Amino acid sequence: MLATVKDWTALMAPDGNFAPLIHVGADARTVARHNVGIAYLATPYTREVTIRGKWSFDRSVMLSAMASRHMLLLMRERVTAVSPIVLASEALHAQSSTTGRRLSPLDRDFWMDWCRPILNSAAMIVVPDIPGWDQSDGIWTEVQFAVAHNVPVFIYAGRG
């Protein structure tokens, strides 16, 4: 397992310990060339969706749209990508139209548990270059999981 302190430089080093699994500077076409199954689209959410500690509906819509854009780019390359952010945020956006228990968009433990089966079924992790990706605790945790389980990771950042 990687360190809990985010050190993307060490993780993304071309001659580092994780070089065989970490594909830096990737894009949808790169992912397609290595396509072996479901791609887990890891995109930022919690840190980016809050304003002064409160969940923002408008920011949630924006982040869902950003993730959806990258899912579309992968679809165009015939890669089946699943975005937990798109699935969860769209459900949360519909929450006001339902009755019953409300889900907290900021309940980290709930969302980590909810995402786990999707992550477990993924053949690869794709990390688009969406602002905040490198600060995301969720993405860091998902990449740690991937490396620990010998799952390839495609990081779009670092393209020359």
User: What pLDDT sits at residue 3?
Assistant: 62
pLDDT digits (tens, 9 = 90+) for 13-64: 999 899 999 999 999 999 999 999 999 999 999 999 999 999 999 999 999 9
pLDDT digits (tens, 9 = 90+) for 77-113: 999 999 999 999 999 999 999 999 999 999 999 999 9
> What domains sit in the chain, N to C, each tagged with a CATH number?
35-96+106-155 (3.40.50.10400)
How far is the C-alpha of 90 from the C-alpha of 71, rounded, in Å? 14
Q: What phi and psi, each to the nearest 5 degrees, are found at residue 146?
A: -60, -50
